[in-house]
Every structure is written in C-alpha cells, then in structure tokens.
Structure 1
Amino acid sequence: MNTASLNESSDEVHRLATRRAMIRLIPLMCAIYFMSFLDRTNVALAKVQLAADVGISAAAYGLGSGIFFIGYALLEVPSNLAAHRIGPRRWIARIAVTWGILSTAMMFVTGEWSFYVLRVLLGIAEAGLFPALMYMVTLWFAPHDRPVAVGWIYTAPALALMLGNPLGGALMQLGGIGGLHGWQWMFMIEGIPSVLVGVLLWFKLPERPRNAKWLSPAEVAVLEARAVIDAKGHPELTSADWIAALKRPTTVLIGLIYFLNQVAFVGLYFFTPAMIHQMHVNTPFLVGLLSSSVGLGFLLGVLILPRIHRRYGNDCVYLGVLTAGLVAGACAFIAAASPAARMALLVVTAFFGGGVLPSYWAIAMKRLHGIQAAAGLAFINTIGLIGGFVGPYLFGMTETATGRSDSGFMVILAASVLGLLLVPLLDRAIRREANPHVDVAINRA
C-alpha cells in the first residue's frame, strides 16, 4: 500500500474514532457542565425574592453573584494542575459532589453575609471544572475538531439557561409548602442531582483514549497521536514547563479578551430575569420562561459559530467579527424602546456573546498542549472568572445608580468595545509567536 493510501486509511480511522469519542464523551461532559451552570445561575431567579425575604439589596446581590468567581479564580490553576496529576475523571467527579452539596446548602441563606460565604464556597468547590473539561478535549481531539467539540460542550450552559430558568421559575412557585420559600425549594431540588452526576462520572468517564474499552488499538493510537502533541511534534511536555504557558503574550491576551467577554456576558445572564421583571412581568414562571431567550441565543451561537470558525482561515479576523456583532447588539438594545424588540435583541446579544466562547478556547488550544494546556487553559479561565465577578458587580452598581436593570447594557457595550480593540494585538502576538522575525520583515517592507 502506498503512502497516500496509508494516509487516507489513517484519516478514515481518525474520523470514525473522533465521531465515536464525541458520541461517548460529549453527553457526559455536557451533563456535568449543565448541572454546574444550573447551580451557578439559579440565584438569578431568586434575586427579587431574596430581597423580599432576607433583605438582600441589588448591590449586595450583584456582589454575591460575582463573588462566586473570586474563590473559583484563586484555585483555578492549582485545581487544573491537580486534574493533570491525578486524572481529570476523579477530579471532575470530586468537584461535582462537593459543589452539589454546597449548592443545596444555599437554601439556608439568612442574610447578606451567609449569601456571600456560601457563594464563595460554591466557587471554591467548582474551581477547575471547566478547564479540566477543556484539558480533556486536548487529550482526545485533534486541533481541527476542537472548535466543534467545545461548541457541543457549550450547549450545556445554553440549555441550562433555556431549561433552567423555566424549571427554576416553576420550583419557585412551591413557596409555602413545608414552611419553605420557593427559592429554598429551588436550591434544594437543583443541587442534589449534581451529586448523582458526579458519582456517574466516576464510573463512566474515561480520562484518555487508552482508558476507553470501546476503542480499538488502532483508534487509540490515531487519537492520541493527533491530539497530545505540541506544534513541533514532540510528546507531552514536563511539569517544569507549565509556568512558561502563563507568560506567553497569546495566553495573556486571550485571557484579557475573555475577561471582557465575561464582564458582559455573565452580567447579562445574571440580570436578565431582573430586566424581564422590569418589563412588568410578575409571575416567576413567566419571568423564567422569557429569560430563557438568553439561553436560546447562546445555544444558536455555540451550534452555528464554531462550525463557521472551522472553515474560516484567520482566527483573529473571525474573532473580531463576532466581537463587533456583540457591540452592534448592545447598541441596538440601548436604542430600542419596545419590549418585543428588546427581547429579540437579548437573543442577538447572547448569540454573539456566548457563541464566541468556543473560538477563544480553540485559539488557545492550538498553542497549549500537555501540562501547558492544563496550566494555560486554567490561567485563561482564571482571568475570565475575574470578569465573571466584575460583570455582575458593575451591573448591580449601575442598577443601584439608575434604578434600571437594563442600564447594565452600557457595561456590555463598554466591555465589548475594549475587547474589540484587543483583537489586533492578539493577531500581532500570534504572528510574532509563529515567526519572531515577522515584525522586522513588516517594518522593512
């Protein structure tokens, strides 16, 4: 058999193995991320009732919603290094069980300080989950397939926003049964399944292709050969190299752009129920149902945009187009007056704000492998998580100052414009990393 035939045969084995891996792995990864996002964001539905029942103000709610990300961010890199050391399967299962217990404990909030403490502990418990999932993607999938794999994983939080808001709204209407408020029922009923999913992952989630009994030896070999290599074709890097990933300009710039996205997008989904409520919608279930518009836009974005990215030549031009779309959506929302137009623009804003997320990770994964991926992806997520703290806090401050939840769209506009300005700097850093002499050549030209 000639070389061309061997390559074609290898490509076909890789294609089938990748498809099998996606069918087997992605549902499990989506299940755990769905539950984490549900438990992280259900507090948005409780905002109005927490104010009435335990006296938590808009500013305190914004601080408590965002402070979750501080504990999360502080332990992100150590947590993902632990996942690299002991294996992502055991570590992800541990995370799920711990945060499920703490999410259920949110039903015992009695005031601002207990709210803050439980949100911090919940963030600490969940630290490392998402970068551990991204690290697993680098172990299983070739760079060409990663945007689609990450896009599928991001359907989980999109579905959590779509389905979780109506579900949470329905659970909120259980208030009075058993002497509990509606938000207490919601936290309890939505927290327990996370523990069960964590136990399931312990038994069902293989860490690497070599651990999967449902792959043939040829499929294991081709998946690992095309996934866990660096740009020069060398094997996985040693632990002595992980700090270098944190110093790379591309890692820092991707992290900063992601930070600004999270300021905008996290603030959006935490405050959408309040925006809907100010449109004179008062029934908790209807508020939850209409708030799912953000999840719909998010879902459409992560299903459509990564597939376009896979066929697009220039990463940074594509990233710039999507960020410009977020700017346009924010401007249109601010200018719109009718509730119907604003509901549609919530979908558009979430389409670009959420749909761009797989592209950040795909761009980063091209440049980070092995333990550098474990450290670098966690570092990027850490920077983004700080944005997750800043966003809700700024939204809460603007609502306190203006009396309007929708004034947070000014925060979205400012953050997305700053993110757009950083994209050319990322492009320059990528070109310099690929060819250190490129700037010299450009200047001489």
Structure 2
Amino acid sequence: MTAEARIIRTLTLRLIPFLILLYLVAFIDRSAVGFAKLHMNADIGLSDLAYGFGAGLFFIGYFIFEVPSNLLLERFGARRWFARILITWGLITVGMAFVTGPYSFYVMRFLLGAAEAGFFPGVLYYITRWYPVRHRGKVLGFFILSQPIALMVTGPLSGALLGMDGIAGLHGWQWLFIVIGLPAVALAWPTLRILPDTPKDAAWLAEADRNWLLGELNKDRKEYGQTEHTNPLKALTDRRVLLLALLYLPSTLSTYGLGLWLPTLVHQFGGSDLTTGFISAIPYVFGIIGLLLVPRSSDRLNDRYGHLTCLYILGSAGLFLSAWLGSPVLQLAALCMTAFSLFSVTAIFWVLPGRFLTGASAAAGIALINSFGNLGGYIGPFGIGALKEYTGTLSSGLYFLSAVMISGVLLTYIVYRKLEKKTPAPQGVVIEQAS
C-alpha cells in the first residue's frame, strides 16, 4: 500500500463512518413523514395537496437558513455546529408527534428544515478540507451511501413503529416521530468528542502525514485556480456557483419528489404497512450499488459530465417506465433503475464545486448550491401532490419527474460548455479583493 493510499484510508476510516451515521439519522428524520402520511392524514385532516405542501416546506426552511448556517460552521467549527444541528432537529422531530392539523404540520416541517439547514452542505465543505480533489468522488459516494441506507431502514422501521398504534394512548405515527427523533439528540455529545475540525486538529494523524495532506490540498488550489473571495458572500454571485445550483435542481426535485411519495405508490400494490415498508426499501439497494460503482468509475476516468449525462437519461427512463407499465413487478424494477441513477448523480455532482472554490467561499458557495437545489425538495413533493389531486393518479407526477430528469441532460451540456470549454484557469489561489 502506498503512503497516499494509507493516509486516505486512515482519513476515511476515522471520519466517514461516523458522518454516515449522522446523515443516516438526518435522512430518516426528514423522510419518515412519507410513512407517517399513511395514517396521519386521516387523523389530523390532511389532504394530499396539503401533505405535499407541508412536506415541501421543510426545504423552504432549509433554503432560507442554509447559507448563514454554513458560514457559522466556518466560524465555530464543524464539531460544535454539527452538535447544535443534531440537538435542534432531533427535538423538532419529536415535536412532529404532536401536530394537530395542517397549520401545525406546516410550521413543524418548516422549523425542521431550518434546524437541519447546513448539515449536508456542511459535511460536503468539511470533506473539501480533508481530501484532495482526485479522491472526493469515491469518498462522497461512501458518504452519500447514508441516503439509500436510511431509506432502506426507514421503510421496515416505520412499518413496525406504525404497528405501535394505541400504546400509551398514542397513534403509531406519533411513536414513529418520537423514536426516530431521539437518536439525533443522543449523538450530539459523541460528535463533540469524535470529530476534529481540520487536519491540524487530528491527534491521530502523524505529523508527516498531516504535512503531506496539507501540501496536496495546496496543490489542488494551484492546479484548479480555486477562488477564495475576500468577502465569502461574493461567492453567492459567482457565475460558476449559480450554474452549478441550476444543474443540481433536477436531481433533488426528482429524489425528494419520488422519495416522499414512494410509500404511497408502493401501498397501492396492496399489502400491510410492514410489507409496504420492506418493498419500499428494495429500490434503495440499487441506489447503494450505484454509489459503490459509478463514483469509482468517474474518479478513474476523471469524467464527471459524461457520467452525469448517462445517469440523467437512465433516471428519466426509469421514472417514465414506472408510470407507463401496469405490472407492480415491472414498476418496481423501473424504480430500482431510477434509484441507481439518482443517488449516483448526487455523488458525482458534488465533486464539481470544490474544484472552483476554497475556504469560506467554498462554505458559502456549497451552501447556496445545495439550498437552491433543495428548492426541488419543495417543488417535487408539492408538484406530485397537486398533479395527483388534479388527475387522481400518481402516474402524472412520475411523468413530470421524468421530464425534469431529461432537462438535467440539457443543463449538464450547458454547464460543461460554460465551465470547462474555456481557457485554462490561472495558476495559484485566486484571492478576490473586496470592491
């Protein structure tokens, strides 16, 4: 094993499993509402349209508070800021058990988004401070494994917790929110103890290894001409950041649109809540397979845009077929193809921002890209809910998501032409002076 491979392996074993655990809890907390809906709607008087609107409000809170959250992470350090996020989102998730109608549902979903804002982009920024660019695709693939794993776990876990209906006078969906919210609070203290803020704070990293790592990160700044604005908020108007935010939108819109309605779609196949939970987990197995294979291919070939194009086409075809086919088995197969595509897109896409920005500018830019992209988390669930209310079927929503994924192909080409087909970037870190 080379020294480089040994150092990267050490970083990955020390940091990534714990980050996967934290995001696993986060993703379960945000996505379990799709299962709670199976019974909560009738208990508190939610229509499909109201559910879609409320489910999407999570991402409005996320959008508003994401950039400030990432800048505060840069100021206070990752471990303290992540611990704060864990405590607040865990308590609000528990509070979801006590909503009594549409308006309290709307308020709590918005607050949950505001509380969690900055965690995912914060981890993405955190990774840029530890890994050279050439290793980030594979590492991001490992980290984003937490998404399909969480959705696999959420199905059976939610089905089982919904079966607690009547215990201590609570509905099953109330137990669901209580049980999944408490682990986030419990993980705040380990976060403070385990995560170092930067390589300089890692006592387990040998001095020679630390110096090599810092040197490689500095080489990346020179090779890619990474920008660090004097005022990091100027990253929010950087043309590259805005283009990447636009490119990310089709992926998030489709991922959350499908994820928050998948339990409803699978429930239509027939079967109990527990059966629905287990069947809903199957597509995410293929999401895991995609994350283990595709980012490695992208790193090996040093190709991001070609892989993104193929994945957007594959995802669009899967969504179209899941709506068009009449057999539940074939529909499920098409959804597996879609999941393979969607999660792989996320891992490959997030290599791109770190090629252009560094320091606090990367914190602000990554947060803006993610917050804008996560508007798709509002548009997707609400759009599908509105289409289902209007047409009476979920198929119309799946056709809508298929068209969205095709738009990703066009956006990939546009971003490639604007960001890559140009004169070489200047050597060295570009420090933009305040105007």
TM-score by length of 2: 0.94
| From 266, 278, 281, the counterpart of 1:292 | 281
Deviation (angstroms), 1:82: 0.7
Equivalent in the alignment of 1:377: 366
Q: 2:377 and 2:226 mapped to 1: Cα distance?
A: 31
Q: 1:297 and 1:404 mapped to 2: Cα distance?
A: 26
Alignment of 1:310-389 (within 5 A): 310-389=299-378
Deviation (angstroms), 1:369: 1.4
1:399–1:405 contact (8 Å) kept in structure 2: yes
Equivalent in the alignment of 1:89: 79
| From 137, 162, 170, the counterpart of 1:172 | 162
Give the match's secondary structure for 1:243: helix
Question: Is 1:397 matched with 2:386?
Answer: yes
The aligned length equals 426
The alpha-carbon distance between structure 1 residues 393 and 230, as it changes in their structure 2 partners (threshold 3 A), is same
Give the match's secondary structure for 1:213: coil
The alpha-carbon distance between structure 1 residues 350 and 38, as it changes in their structure 2 partners (threshold 3 A), is same
Question: Is 1:182 matched with 2:167?
Answer: no
Equivalent in the alignment of 2:200: 210
Equivalent in the alignment of 1:427: 416
Equivalent in the alignment of 2:42: 52
Q: 1:90 and 1:227 mapped to 2: Cα distance?
A: 24
Deviation (angstroms), 1:426: 0.6
Q: 1:300 and 1:233 mapped to 2: Cα distance?
A: 32
CA shift digits 1:303-338 (9 cap, x unpaired): 211111112243212211111111221222233111
Give the match's secondary structure for 2:383: helix
Give the match's secondary structure for 1:366: helix
Percent identity between the aligned chains?
36
CA shift digits 1:11-33 (9 cap, x unpaired): 93332111101001001110110
Give the match's secondary structure for 1:56: coil
TM-score by length of 1: 0.92
Deviation (angstroms), 1:236: 8.9
CA shift digits 1:220-249 (9 cap, x unpaired): 111222235653269997662423433333
Alignment of 1:397-416 (within 5 A): 397-416=386-405
Equivalent in the alignment of 1:130: 120
The alpha-carbon distance between structure 1 residues 93 and 436, as it changes in their structure 2 partners (threshold 3 A), is closer
Q: Which runs of 5+ in 2 are unaligned?
A: 427-435
CA shift digits 1:384-411 (9 cap, x unpaired): 1111111100011111112223432112
Equivalent in the alignment of 1:278: 268
RMSD of aligned residue pairs (Cα, Å): 1.9
After TM superposition, the structure 1 stretch with the greater mean CA deviation from structure 2, 362-371 or 247-256, is 247-256
Q: 2:139 and 2:300 mapped to 1: Cα distance?
A: 15
2:224–2:355 contact (8 Å) kept in structure 1: no
Deviation (angstroms), 1:160: 0.6
**AA at the equivalent of 2:308:** L
